[in-house]
């Protein structure tokens, strides 16, 4: 079960369970495609997919679990933070408010 590696930290109401499943699947595929050392490519790949799938202005942040924090304005409660327990990453995904 590929989902066993994910620990959901925060899932706001704008992210449906189906969206969460699709986002985590896309992140998993990107990690497997690029390898865990290529965090910028993983973020970019996931962001492009999110923009194409759920509309523009998504942001994807990867950092060490327990060491990274972020505070951002996000749109319509579209915010998801997860930990990848094998890699000890915290991944934050959210839709930015348009300027």
Domains of the chain: 6-95 (3.30.740.10)
Residue 1, pLDDT above cutoff 70? no
Q: Which residues pair with 22 in a beta bridge?
A: none
What mean pLDDT is predicted for residues 15-26? 97
- Residues 28 and 87: their CA atoms lie apart, in Å, by 11
pLDDT at 4: 65
- Residues 7 and 91: their CA atoms lie apart, in Å, by 10
Kindly report the pTM of this predicted structure.
0.89
pLDDT at 73: 77
The rounded radius of gyration (Å) of the Cα atoms in the chain is 12
Residue with tokens 């994807």: 60
């Amino acid at each position: 079960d590929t989902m066993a590696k994910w620990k959901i930290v925060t899932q706001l109401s704008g992210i449906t369970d189906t969206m969460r499943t699709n986002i985590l699947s896309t992140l998993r595929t990107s990690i497997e495609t690029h390898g865990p050392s290529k965090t910028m490519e993983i973020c970019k790949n996931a962001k492009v997919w999110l923009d194409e799938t759920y509309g523009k202005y998504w942001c994807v942040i990867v950092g060490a679990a327990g060491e990274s924090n972020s505070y951002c304005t996000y749109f319509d409660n579209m915010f998801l933070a997860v930990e990848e327990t094998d890699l000890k990453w915290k991944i934050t995904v959210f839709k930015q408010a348009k300027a």
